[in-house]
Amino acid sequence: MASRSLLRLMKELQELAKGENLAINVHYDESNINQIEVLLLGPPDTPYAFGFYRFAIVIPPEYPTRPPHVTLKTTNMGSTRFGPNLYASGKVCLSILGTWPGRPGEEWSPAQGLESVLLSIQSLLSANPYHNEPGFAHESDANAVQTYNAKVRHENLRLAIITPLEKALGLAPNPTGGPSSASSEDPFNDHYKRRFLWYLDQYKRAIAQGIEEVKNNPGPQFPMAPFESSSNGMRGSWAYPELQRRLQAIESKLIEETYGWAVEGSKICEEDAGIAVTLRAQQDQIVAELKNFTGSTVDLAMIDDNPFLWQLTYFGRPMSIWDGAMVNLKIYISPRFPAEQPRVFLDSSIFHLRVTSLKMLVYLPARSNDLIRHIAGIIGTLDEESPAYNPLLTVNQEASKLFWGTKQEKREYNTKLRHSIEMSML
């Protein structure tokens, strides 16, 4: 690859790595940036909602004259077709990739780049993928469209959410017959876990919806769509109760893992390991810095002198919705930070658009490898009175609906938030 093309590719990767698009997560080895791994998050309000779709991208030497080569890896070992354009073989049919004939203006051009490719792929994860098949764009059989959506939704939960989480946590069946272990080498493991905790309520809701839907299905097996074949289709059977059980097992394992960080950290402290010393020093530095830019609105301390478990006490600002409030949050820090990001939970339930039913606070640090940025992100999330709308940050559906609803609904949101704050202080 020519040096100019290499510089362009590096710039594109750096832009993607900033993480401004919450639906795209990129990993690559700096020694070989022509081999790229990407996770695309399924868009909300589609059968692919909040699923993790993994792609392998190979950049040809002629880039950007020639387009990247893209292969879908979320295929159930080559047996599941996730849509008309997403083959079981991993082939992604798109005119921009040169894998599907397109109209003038749809083909690849050097003016396009990795982000345009990823956005084009993401557009395939649509609300009605049945219509993506040529000749079926105006399909009038609503039942066929809904049935196809239903099985995509089922397999999205099974293969694009539950399966990768089980592998990341060591819950997946071991083909050797022995106990399974977590796949620590996967660069996306922590991303899977954090986002699973973000969207857990959505996953539970999708399973509950699926259990009701399948009551009207004619049989246990997935019906085949007319454009599917035995070697390139989505075959399987409805198994929502089993998915529900597996989802609960993942939730329990993640909570156990989170609490386990503090226990593991205590043992590390006894060994005087470098990470423990570093965290202790950072905590002291952060406490000093917080006094400079937040006054007395927060207090930060280690719990039981454990540098892997912090408590942040947030004091509400006068004249704000938090006026007079005192909210305690626990910050769990992994011994493998920053490869594993902190997880933050409130001690009490608060009705807030960024707080899940598990009392987890969802926030975005400006820099993921800097703990002061994490603390600033936590405070900023609680302070923010008019956040920008982002459907990928909808982790409390009821609160979000009220917050971005009518004026009356916004008042109801404020009332519920204020009431939950007062109840938490009793």
Whether 261 and 291 map to the same domain: the answer is: no
Q: Using CB atoms within 10 A of its CB, is residue 133 exposed (0-12), middle (13-18) or buried (19+)?
A: middle
Whether 69 and 166 map to the same domain: the answer is: no
Whether 424 contacts 349, CB under 8 Å:
yes
Length of the chain: 426
Whether 215 and 257 map to the same domain: the answer is: yes
Torsion 194-198-204-207 (CA) sign? negative
Name the CA dihedral angle for 155, 158, 163, 166, rounded to a multiple of 10 degrees.
170
Residue 93 falls in the annotated catalytic set:
yes
Rounded to an integer, what distance in angstroms lies between the CA atom of residue 426 and that of residue 418?
13
- Residue 370's domain comprises 272-424
Measured from the Cβ of residue 183, the count of other Cβ atoms closer than 10 Å reads 15
**Domain presence at residue 29:** yes
**Domain presence at residue 167:** yes
**Domain presence at residue 230:** no
Name the CA dihedral angle for 400, 406, 409, 415, rounded to a multiple of 10 degrees.
90
For position 176, what pLDDT does the model report?
52
For position 23, what pLDDT does the model report?
97
Whether 281 and 420 map to the same domain: the answer is: yes
**From the centroid of its chain, how far is CA 67?**
27
In degrees, to the nearest 5, what angle opens at C-alpha 319 toward C-alphas 412 and 393? 50
DSSP 355: B
Instruction: List the CATH number of the domain containing 122.
Output: 3.10.110.10
Q: Closest by alpha carbon to 194, among 399, 337, 304?
A: 337
Whether 119 and 147 map to the same domain: the answer is: no
For the chain, what is the domain count?
Answer: 3
For position 422, what pLDDT does the model report?
94
Q: Which of 1, 13, 56, 93 is catalytic?
A: 93
Per-residue pLDDT of the chain (426 residues; tens, 9 = 90+): 667 889 999 999 999 988 789 999 999 999 999 999 999 999 999 999 999 999 999 999 999 999 999 999 999 999 999 999 999 999 999 999 999 988 888 899 999 999 999 999 999 999 999 999 988 988 778 899 999 999 999 999 999 999 999 999 999 775 555 555 565 589 999 999 999 999 999 999 999 999 998 887 767 899 999 999 999 999 999 999 999 999 999 999 999 999 999 999 999 988 877 888 899 999 999 998 887 765 558 999 999 999 999 999 999 988 899 999 999 999 999 999 999 999 999 999 999 999 999 999 999 999 999 999 999 999 999 999 999 999 999 999 999 999 999 999 999 999 999 999 999 988
Whether 380 and 318 map to the same domain: the answer is: yes
For the question of whether the overall pTM of this predicted structure is more than 0.75, the answer is yes
Whether 286 and 217 map to the same domain: the answer is: no
Whether 281 and 412 map to the same domain: the answer is: yes
**Domain presence at residue 403:** yes
Residue 166, both tokens: 């089980």
**Domain presence at residue 415:** yes
**Domain presence at residue 231:** no
Spell out where 262-413 has E strands.
298-303, 306-315, 326-332, 343-346
Distances in whole angstroms, Cα of residue 408 to Cα of each of 22, 322, 355, 386, 396 = 30, 20, 22, 16, 19
Distances in whole angstroms, Cα of residue 241 to Cα of each of 170, 209, 403 = 21, 12, 33
**Domain presence at residue 25:** yes
- The radius of gyration of the chain from alpha carbons, rounded to an integer in Å, stands at 23
Whether 29 and 115 map to the same domain: the answer is: yes
Whether 251 and 288 map to the same domain: the answer is: no
Whether 96 contacts 110, CB under 8 Å:
no
Whether 342 and 376 map to the same domain: the answer is: yes
Encoded amino acid at 393, one letter:
L
Whether the link from the prior residue into 391 is cis, omega within 30° of 0, is no
Q: What SS3 state is found at 92?
A: strand
DSSP 247: H
Q: What SS3 state is found at 359?
A: coil
Whether 327 and 366 map to the same domain: the answer is: yes
